Chain A
Amino acid sequence: MVISPMKTLQCLAGLLLMALAGHASATGSLRIAAAADLKFAMDEIAATFRQSHPDARVEVIYGSSGNFKAQIQQGAPFDLFFSADIAFPRELREAGLAASEVRPYATGRIVLWSGQTDASKLTLADLTSADYRKIAIANPTHAPYGKRAEEALRASGVWGKVEPRLVYGENIAQTAQFVQSGNAQIGIIALSLALNPELAGKGGMAGYYLIPDALHEPLEQGFIITRRAAGNPLARDFADFMDSTAARATMVRYGFVLPGEQRAIGP
């Protein structure tokens, strides 16, 4: 049988139309942009949300909050934006790109963590030891967790001594991965990541040192429903779901301090 080019073209056009139609008809879908520190907590929360919305398609995309802000400004198709720095959703709201108030959902904490030694016995002053040839923090020029790490190191008076040995993760998840792979001996990462099973179980080194939050500005985190999701009922459902007992319990388990509450769980 000879397949004519015309037939092939028609087939392709048909497939393309089907693909487009399938995309357009996918009502009941929700695409969430979430800061990298939410990786494990949001996976769980989204899974619980799916149980009560079995027909909805809920996708979570993790990345750098600053990237997401820039992408949403350029019309990226996200319905909700959970930022590690509440300043980003505030700016989007001021620019008229939000369909909700900016809702604070948590305060993040930073910890000293190592894949090789039990960091719970350490403090920031110990970072001056030459044993730590590479110390990972998130990039302070743009990553919220990196900014707080730099502030804490400066407030402890060790910045000058540790700076030559710093390596900078693109976001907090990459920072944790630098430490987990052993390429950096120690690092300052999000408590939420140190508490996840992948890292906590690593070589039995479950320990971490919770860096006192007096040493840095608070890592206040907030989310918005984006303008494009103004008419998406699922977005509002999910936003409300963040206040549910289940979602709040998950957030607390991953070391986030909830709005109106006081402390993170200790080691």
Chain B
Amino acid sequence: MLSANDLTAIWLTLKLATVVTGVLLLIGTPIAWWLARTRSWWKRPVAAIVALPLVLPPTVIGFYLLVAMGPYGPLGQLTEALGLGLLPFTFAGLVVASVIYSMPFVIQPLHNAFEAIGERPLEVAATLRAGPVDRFFSVAMPLARPGFITGAILGFAHTIGEFGVVLMIGGSIPGQTRVVSVQIYDHVQAFEYARAHWLAGALLVFSFLVLLALYAFNPSRRATWS
């Protein structure tokens, strides 16, 4: 069965995925909106940067983050100067890493949803004297709702599935950085296959249910992967 440590890991993982999804919806929405509306040349490099975590191996992200967030790295010196200490081996560090790692899974569905709205509904709203902020909240957001739901589910699920980056910067601290994927790895390393089976099975069922919910919610359109 699941031990107290396993439950701690599950709770931590759900907490991480929730925080990361929240952060990504907050910072991802303006980025996705800009990407969908702009005619600037900069759209291309920004879209490419957003998509980078899809193709980069977790080792690249983990390695750069470990060095950058360490005491000799720019991020590490910044967080130290701000009195926040160093980010590796902390929950906050995992949030930063996961936000980067899961970024495309939230921003791309939002971007597609905003683009699918087209100019027309916004122009109509403008003729009714809706200001830009009003147009965004009263017209764009409700119309892009499927994108928000897809992005939130994918961002949440992908953060739960994260392993390599956490292994490189986490330090496997119970309750802080030992997420379910790492806990399973530790069980396997310790030859505790029975315990690994319980957690792995739980994750398998959970992931299936999440994706099932995604497809059930979005029956007409294929889920936007990338």
Contacts and interface: CB of A to CB of B under 8 A. Distances in A.
Interface of A: 64, 66-67, 70, 133-134, 136, 139, 141-143, 166-170, 178, 181-184
Given A170-B172, A178-B171, A70 B186 contact: no
Given A136-B171, A169-B171, A181 B70 contact: yes
A109 to B, nearest CB: 23
Nearest to A139: B172
8 contacts: A66-B190, A66-B191, A134-B86, A139-B189, A141-B186, A141-B190, A181-B66, A183-B169
A136 B86 CA distance: 14
B53 interface: no
B66 A142 contact: no
Given A66-B191, A141-B190, A142-B186, A182 B70 contact: yes
Nearest to A170: B167
Contact of B189 (A64, A133, A134): A64
Contact of B89 (A134, A141, A142, A170): A134
B173 A167 contact: yes
Contacts of B171: 134, 136, 167-169, 178, 184
B71 interface: yes
A167 B89 contact: yes
A70 B191 contact: yes
B22 interface: no
B67 interface: yes
Given A133-B85, A167-B173, A184-B89, 4 more contacts: A134-B89, A167-B172, A183-B89, A184-B171
A169 B189 CA distance: 12
Which DSSP category, helix, strand, loop or mixed, fits chain A's interface? loop
A169 B171 CA distance: 6
B172 A142 contact: no
Given A134-B89, A167-B89, A169-B171, A66 B66 contact: no
B137 interface: no
Contacts of A133: 85-86
Given A139-B172, A182-B70, A182-B71, A70 B89 contact: no
A183 B190 contact: no
Nearest to B193: A70
A181 B67 contact: yes
Contacts of A70: 188, 191
A139 B174 CA distance: 12
Contact of B173 (A66, A141, A168, A170): A168
Nearest to A166: B173
Contacts of A184: 89, 171
B88 interface: yes
B67 to A, nearest CB: 6
B69 interface: yes
B41 interface: no
B86 A67 contact: no
B42 interface: no
Contacts of B172: 139, 167-168, 170
Nearest to B169: A183
Given A170-B167, A182-B71, A66 B86 contact: no
Contacts of A178: 88-89, 171
Nearest to B93: A183
Contacts of A142: 186, 189-191
A54 to B, nearest CB: 33
A183 B173 contact: no
A66 B189 contact: yes
Nearest to B66: A181
Closest 9 CB pairs of A and B: A167-B171, A142-B189, A168-B172, A182-B71, A142-B190, A183-B88, A167-B89, A141-B190, A181-B70
A183 B167 contact: no
A182 B72 contact: yes
